Structure 1
Amino acid sequence: MAMRDLIPWRRQENTAPALFQNEERSPFVQFRREMDRLFDDFFRAPLFSGGAFGNASLGWPSLEVKEADDQVTITAELPGLNEKDVELTVHDGVLTLRGEKKSEHQDKDRGWSERYYGRFERSIALPDGADESKCEADFRDGVLTVRMPKSQEASRGRKIPIGTRGTRH
């Protein structure tokens, strides 16, 4: 089998061995078709075409970066987390957001439990002039907002404390 036969978008239509070309009921032909279908579906997935699945799995949490003349604002959506689950650092022009999401559900009466664990990390290159020493962050309703004023004399490197502002109950 040639290497090009393994690549779904280069595959020729009728590449089954000559022995089974006319035997539609052969388990080998059916197996080959099923494998071809799986490869086709995999390479057609949004992960490879830049769709939502790719963005959700590789770019979590979702970020929004806004740059104005006097300030840079970065917003991260972190549903189900609080400020204790998130670490925010800035060093050499890069803002790094790290954390871990944990969730456990248990129903002893029905005899089941679910656990979800996942670590995440996102790094954002900051625009020139962002003043890292005056960076502020607050966490409210699952949304982390980082504000950084712009100045010409920006110092480099510090950990940013995350506070709560106007938390609703």
Structure 2
Amino acid sequence: MALLPSLFGNQSVLDRMFDDLRRLQQQFEQAIGSGLPTPVFKADWRPAIDVKETAEGLTVTAELPGLTEQDVELSLEDDVLTIKGEKKAETTREEKGVHIQERSYGSFARSLQLPFAPKADAVQATFSKGVLTITLPRPPEAPKPSSRIEIKSG
């Protein structure tokens, strides 16, 4: 089993486990109501990522609300793109009267195994309004995305 999920394969075992834990926490919160204190899942924060493939390459979009480009680090090693950083808590003191704390803080690292190894000097990244957009051009020797083949009856 691969440690890194393929962009075009199944979700990794750890991703599914964390998704299950988040769903369980949401169901628990719904069952007891929003007026009571609830335990907070204290895992590192994990930003949502979209990946779009075209004939020209890949576009990776990551939601990073509350962060700036200085809070994020990108690296590329062969066909593995890594996005990492830290979302720092706004306060370090214990606040009185807090019953629910749903916002997550902490360090994160997302590594994506790409279907090709892009040239690092051709990769571009922009950050605007909490959204990181990474454009990874497909090198000329990289395989093109597959096409669907129609199956006819008869």
Q: TM-score range by the shorter chain?
A: 0.5 to 0.7
- What TM-score, normalized to structure 1? 0.50
- 5+ residue gaps, structure 2, are 1-15, 24-40, 143-154
Of all paired residues, the percent bearing the same amino acid is 40
- 5+ residue gaps, structure 1, are 1-46, 155-169
- What TM-score, normalized to structure 2? 0.55
Aligned pair partner of 1:94 in 80, 86, 97: 80
- Per residue, is there more helix in 1 or in 2? 1
1:53 aligns with 2:22: yes
RMSD of aligned C-alpha atoms?
3.6
Aligned length: 104
Counterpart residue number, 2:120: 132
**1:69–1:86: structure 2 CA closer, same or farther, 3 Å change rule?**
same
Code of the residue aligned with 2:121 in structure 1: it is S
**1:127–1:103: structure 2 CA closer, same or farther, 3 Å change rule?**
same
Per-residue CA deviations over 1:91-125 (Å, capped at 9, x if unaligned) read 11100001011122389xx87899x7511000011
Judge conservation of contact 2:118–2:137 (CA < 8 Å) in 1: yes
**1:153–1:131: structure 2 CA closer, same or farther, 3 Å change rule?**
farther
Instruction: Please give the alpha-carbon distance, in whole angstroms, between the structure 2 residues aligned to 1:99 and 1:50.
Output: 21
